[in-house]
Chain A
Amino acid sequence: MAHLNSINHFRAFQGRLAGRQDPNAPTVVIPAGTCGQASGANELIRTAKTEIRKGGLGGRVALRVTGCHGFCQMEPSVLVEPGRTFYPRVSPEAMVRIVQATARGEVLDDLLLTEPGTGEPIGCQDDVPFFERQTRTILARNEQIDPTQIDSYIVNDGYSAAVETLERGDPGWVIHEVKSSGLRGRGGAGFPTGVKWELLAKQANGRGKFLVCNADEGDPGAYMDRSLLEGNPHSIIEGMLIAAYATGATEGIVYVRNEYPLAIKHLRIALRQAHELGLLGSDILGTSFAFDIMLVKGAGAFVCGEETALIRSIEGKMGEPRQRPPFPIEQGIDGKPTAINNVETWANIPVVFQAGARAFAEVGTANNSGTKIFSLVGKIRNTGLVEVPMGITIDQIVRDIGGGSAGNTRIKAVQTGGPSGGCIPAERFDLAIDYDSLAGAGSIMGSGGMIVMDEATCMVDVAKYFMHFLKDESCGKCLTCRKGTQRMYEILDDIANGKGRREDLDLLEELALAVKDTAMCGLGQTAPNPVLSTLRYFRDEYLEHIENKRCPAGVCKELITYSINENCTGCGACVKACPEDAISGEKKQRHAIDQNKCIKCGACRSICKFDAVDVA
């Protein structure tokens, strides 16, 4: 690989790469992030390669393997350029046909998605309802870039923003731009990024300063950071490079959670390539500016997303948070000034400089500028990553982009912000999504998980789930968090088992507020949110469990019974499925469940094709 030793050298290199690229070349793009690979993308890649080789199509069809494009529901999918044809759920056999058709410049109508109302095939990805209503500033770049090739990033204007920053030679201007873009931290707290950088820049030089990329994406249900690291790792590196120049930071660290092997792999490759090319290290592009980034892997602890815990973990210690102040910006890693930003924040930095701060600030709403990526998952038709301007309503995301409920049941709530967030009921789906509105509704933006819940989701069970999670993840340093989450879990477990009492709800609320007020770190202070928000909006469900010993959603095992109704045809599928031999009946006659044997596993209900198993 070439080593670039001046800015002109970089520009010439970029120009040479651009000259070699033909934007109209027929290209088969296969997204192969973790989701794609889990759905069979690897086999599609093998098939496409074989077909191109066997058919002698090398000069006529190009193949590009990228990270996740976002529509995980339709994986493994294929995108064909230049027409941007979107093929969902592609089988290896279909892959062969797609390669052949692409070589002929044809589109295979029978493999396309169809318009929900009319059944008309949708030719272009940008017309698919799921994509059409998004503003894909960041995610769209995942489509363009092969994450394992630095050339692929550079030819798509990558590192241009960093190089311009170096050329301009004015750190103060960089900070001014980030401040006027209005970018706020995408990790969830929403602290203005430019202000954070300014604080770091003001710290005395000489002892060394750190920049950290927080990729300890611990919120269950959120995976946009994984997708960005897998799909576009160089954008993170470029963001950090720009910040280092602006703040005088000498060392960068990306802290990635261990559960993301592909993200770690791609980031390692990206760091090595940036190093070899001379974009990291000493004397970057001959400007005498030096900055390097290393990767530190986590070992599985939710609390390490909290910045002081994260710092300890980077130091190789137990990830226990500590009291602030002093804030990490003054005393962070090894006691040196440290600024920590989330993955998505870093990915926004090159965008700010490419679009210009003013253009960036025009997207979204006042005080909430830019786009935000949400992971739209749970009981929804179209699951995947969606990128939208800040300020659009939950309803627009859930109904227009998500396509509404996955089945016949009504959507009841969305849960945002992970274990620190809360549940927002369907009646409040007109709420605009920004940091402040969500906080007002008792939840938080968090890193952007949006888990859709329907009538078959029990809110007591959800609260119990989160409290179980939090009691396990509480580091144990503060008594109220350690014991409070434990006790709240026990109370919720009692309620779910039909042993709850009315006064338990008051106790829950009291405990929740005590933990909120007295815990030291963000984990403890927000831990009660799942309880408080479900109590606020779904008190009825709690009361059903307590007073009528009923779980309306049919989830809490102790409170439900399975029975077979008159729809039963006596096919016997449930008899085979039942692990406890609890179902019996004559062939072609209505069967029955022996309640003494039934363990309420639900196997009969999920296998029944005639809707003949009731749960109540």
Chain B
Amino acid sequence: MALRTVSVVEPLNEEAPGPEAVKRNDVLRIAQTHEGERGGLIATLEGIQDAQGYLSEEALRTVADATGLSLVDVYGVATFYHGFSLQPRGNRTISVCLGTACHVRGAPMVVEEFERQLGVRAGGTTVDLEFTLETVNCLGACALGPIVKVDGTYFSNVSRGAVKGIIEQSRAEQLTGAIPVVATTNEPAMVTAEA
């Protein structure tokens, strides 16, 4: 990916930079770090999403400007991959795993319960911008399903009844590593060691 340096050195704003200009500068800086890197566009978009929470139209236009790619190409990549969001997201992202193992162990009911409790559909963000609820194809912790991830914290063997607690805990920002939720459906009978 070759950067068109002209966009970077161009004075963006004659006056003191406002919030939008700062964002534009951030976007340019991120694009610059990935200049010439393999797969640079995806890494650039990822960097912008990490910094700004989502990919705004303005950010995509800036990336297209800076890289010399057409807006269509940038938009295409931004919409092709599930990892990118073109909408603002909540402070915390709740990801409910819908992998096959989680599915057969009741993950659809867990999604429903999150939708009920939060009042949004999967893919949506609560009005207070606190939570974005999303479903993911597989988080790769299949033996412990259904799995729910809130930002970086994993919850295992989640039942419908555990949903409220997860939301409350997340709201109270008490996520201190992993909190296992005890299995209700798959308690192995051969374990006598310790509950």
Contact = CB atoms under 8 A, between A and B. Distances in A.
Contact of B100 (A260, A302, A451): A451
User: Per DSSP, are chain B's interface residues mostly helix, strand or loop, or mixed?
Assistant: loop
A603 interface: yes
A114 B194 CA distance: 11
A316 B177 contact: no
Interface of B: 1, 38-43, 45-46, 73, 76-77, 80-84, 98-106, 109, 112-113, 116, 136-145, 147, 152, 154-156, 159-161, 177-180, 184-186, 188-195
A113 B191 contact: yes
Given A75-B144, A298-B83, A377-B101, 7 more contacts: A35-B141, A220-B98, A299-B81, A300-B83, A379-B186, A383-B143, A469-B137
A43 B180 CA distance: 11
A514 to B, nearest CB: 25
A301 B106 CA distance: 24
A75 B177 CA distance: 15
Contacts of A375: 101, 142-143
- Highest count of chain B CB atoms <10 Å: which of A73, A253, A259, A415: A259
A315 B136 CA distance: 24
A349 interface: no
Contacts of B139: 34, 259
A42 B152 CA distance: 13
A378 B101 contact: yes
A34 B140 contact: yes
Contacts of A457: 104
Interface string A361-391: 0000000000000011111011111000000
Interface string A246-281: 000000010000111100000000000000000000
Contacts of A602: 106, 109, 160
Contacts of B190: 113-114, 116, 381, 403
Interface residues of A, number: 88
A570 interface: no
Contacts of A378: 100-101, 104-105
A217 B160 CA distance: 28
A579 B144 CA distance: 26
A91 interface: yes
A289 interface: no
Interface in A184-233: 217-223, 226
A259 B100 contact: no
A299 B101 contact: no
A40 B190 CA distance: 21
A379 B142 CA distance: 11
